[in-house]
Structure 1
Amino acid sequence: MTVTNPAIPSARVADEPSTTERRPRNPFKRFWPQYVAVAPFYILFLVFGMFPLIFSIWLSFNDWDGMGQMKFVGLAQYRFLITDSRFWLAVGNTFLIWIMSTIPMLFLALVIAFLLHTNIRAKGFYRVAFFIPNVTSAVAMAIVFGSIFSNSFGIINSFLNWLHVSQVPWLSNPWGIKVVIAVMVIWRWTGYNSIIYLAGLQAVSTELYEAARVDGANNWHIFSRITIPMLRPVILFTVITSTVGGLSLFTEPQVLFGNTSNIGGPADGGLTIVLYQYYQAFNQFDFGYGAAIAWALFIIAVVFAIINWRLVSEREVDGQKVFKVSRKQRAANASAEPTEVAAK
């Protein structure tokens, strides 16, 4: 006859796991295939992303030509940057080109998206046609536009000559250069932004449009009173991305004037911030100053993106602008609501 201890049930003793079984397994040993699968991305990011980023910060405080020994100069690069008149000329050119290109581009993209969202034939054809410029090679596009706006044999000047209008020196006048670069940006990115707006429009309920048409609203009222307010988050996204892209403009002026003696074109009319950074780093071999220009561009882009975000993110309620409420204010309002309901 087997005697068991009544205080410890035999079934519980048999089912109770040992201390070794209760120890959690090493997550790396358990999920090592997943870690190995994602490791190449992080390795490439550390080598080609994080390391150059950190190195550029250190490089901006040094004087280095890319071959010899680095010489630590502290804030000397940034002090010279503040007094560099050509850098501020590049900043002014970049902002002018951004204004001349981004505002018309986003407005045209919004109008095109609104028209594509209506009941028209061959929607797929128009979507592909408007998106093709974005996938076209930027170098080939710059060469074609350089031929179109050429001073001597360009199509635009030939057309003006046919109209008995004086020709315009597009590629030798500072303002003409800005117009050419702005037109190139508009031609390339309008279709891309229109596709983004079209995706946002498809998420808007059609009942709003039907109700507006029943009330007698025309296309302009629907566009200004329904489409634009409902697309405010999408517009905010396109404004910020267009701001970053406009401030980092490089390919168009580089292809147009990269092989000339003056990298920014006549009177530096096409000199942008990134083009000036490229000139200092890879033409003058002043990598320290080039890194300082890059970080100055980063600060300008962040500040400008925040300003655009503040301007676009405001809402209108009953004709009055209402700005975003802070987290503390939202928490205070949420805690006050139950008290108000109880009082009622």
Structure 2
Amino acid sequence: MTRLRPPVEHADRLPRPPRRIGLGSRLSRWDVKLSPYLYISPFFLLFFVTGLFPLVYTGWVAVHDWDLIMGQGEFVGTKNFVEVLTGRDFWTALTNTFSIFLLSSVPQVFAAIVIAAALDTNLRAKTFWRMGVLLPYVVAPVAVALIFSNLFADKFGLINSALGVLGIDPVGWHSQRLPSHLAIATMVNFRWTGYNALIFLAAMQAVPRDLYEQAAIDGAGRVRQFWSVTVPMLRPTIIFVVITSTIGGLQIFDEARMYDQFGRGGADGQWQTLTVYLYELGWTRSNFGRASAVAVLLFLIIVLVGLLNFWITRRIASSEVKR
């Protein structure tokens, strides 16, 4: 008696023996699942060690009476914040910080865009000019501050000597508040304008050249192409540069610290920024609790100003797109 075979079209419905999964296939599956997290884990580990933990620990120190020599004291709650906010030095340093930030960041962005537009043209020795623009960023901040502090010296500085030749009275670059802010902002612009210009240059080179050809066919000149094609395509990059300039501008330390030989922000705090004030509280007055309170307040100010800048730039960009 012969055994009937199942039809061919129904053979795939028959139960199959269980497949044994080997150790190699299991490891390959785990590798596919875990390898992306392993690749990005170094960043999060470094962020936790160098970013998140110091921030949390600074908040812990800010609510304690902490001395540089004696270490942690008793819990004081918001006492350090109240002493900082009710003091005159904090508000003077905050005013100086915003003044230097506005005098440096706003012209810096415009100058960087203009320089990037010039570098995006058909210049000879493009690599030379691009490296030359980046050269001030490579120079050490301390060296830049020492050179510019001598240039802006009140008595024997090169700037006042040139003004004297023109018949203009010498300016108190160290004794007056606004001139000292201009001098420090000049240092910041000298260091960071070229760096931001290269960022804008990279964004400009990513703009499709067909847009310029179409604009030229429509009769648009170079200036019109710049404002109608280049600037709108740079909106994401402008937002990025504005936010990074805000974060860096509100943390100005090297230029203000090295602007004179004493490094305290002037005899009356003419150019004392929040970071210099923080440094003085921590390392000169040995009051780590109040210094940490200033650091926490500075962090909150940077976050608020950064969010405000992001909101304003997004609103401007969206309104221009609707037009």
Superposition TM-score, scaled by structure 1 size: 0.81
Give the aligned partner of residue 179 of structure 1.
182
Deviation of the 1:220 alpha carbon: 2.3
Q: 2:60 aligns with which of 58, 61, 67?
A: 58
Amino acid at match of 1:273: L
Distance 1:153 1:204 in 2: 48
- Report the CA distance between 1:55 and its aligned residue: 1.2
What is the aligned partner in structure 1 of residue 69 from structure 2?
Answer: 67
Q: Which structure exhibits the higher relative contact order, with contacts defined as CA atoms closer than 8 Å and separated by 6 or more residues?
A: 2
Shift of 1:322: 5.2
Describe the superposition over 1:66-108 as per-residue Cα deviations: whole angstroms up to 9, x where unpaired. 2324210001111222212210111111111111111111101
Paired residue for 1:255, among 245, 258, 261? Answer: 258
Contact 2:175 2:266 in 1 (8 A): yes
Letter in 2 for 1:53: L
CA separation of 1:207/1:147 partners in 2, compared to 1, >3 Å: closer, same or farther? same
Say which of 236, 239, 252 aligns to 1:233: 236
Q: Equivalent residue of 1:63, what SS? A: strand
Gapped runs of 5+ residues in structure 1? Answer: 1-10, 324-344
Which residue of 13, 16, 24 corresponds with 2:19?
Answer: 16
Partner of 1:120: 123
Residue identity in the other structure for 1:285: S
Say which is worse superposed, 85-94 or 74-83, in terms of deviation: 74-83
Cα deviation, residue 192, structure 1? 0.4
Aligned to 2:92: 89
How far apart, CA to CA, are the structure 2 residues paired with 1:247 and 1:198? 25
Structure 2: which amino acid aligns with 1:56? Answer: T
2:288 maps to amino acid: F
Distance of aligned partners of 1:183 and 1:47 in 2 relative to their CA distance in 1, 3 Å threshold: same
Q: Deviation per CA, 1:131-160, whole angstroms, max 9, x where unpaired?
A: 000111000010000111111211111111
1:99 aligns with 2:102: yes
Tell me the residue number matched to 1:341. none
RMSD (Å), alpha carbons: 3.0
Q: 2:152 matched to which residue of 1?
A: 149
Partners in 1 of 2:41 and 2:305 — Cα distance? 35
Residues matched between the structures, number? 308
TM-score (structure 2 length as normaliser): 0.86
Q: Percent identity?
A: 37
> 2:3 is matched with which residue?
none
Q: Which residue of 2 aligns with 1:111?
A: 114
Query: Which of the numbers 132, 138, 144 marks the counterpart of 2:135?
Result: 132
Determine if contact 1:93/1:271 at 8 Å carries over to the other structure. Answer: yes
Deviations 1:228-259 (CA, angstroms, capped at 9, x unpaired): 111000000000000000000000010113x4
**Contact 2:65 2:76 (C-alpha < 8 Å) held by counterparts:** yes
Structure 1 residues 97 and 60, CA gap change in structure 2 (3 angstroms): same
Mapped to 1, the partners of 2:264 and 2:303 lie a distance apart of 27
Q: Which runs of 5+ in 2 are unaligned?
A: 1-14
Q: Distance in 1 between matches of 2:24 and 2:236?
A: 50
Could you tell me how far apart the structure 2 residues matched to 1:315 and 1:254 are? 36
User: For residues 179 and 23 of structure 2, what CA distance do their matches in structure 1 show?
Assistant: 77
Structure 2 residue matching 1:87: 3-state secondary structure: helix
Q: 1:132 to 1:63 in 2, by over 3 A?
A: same
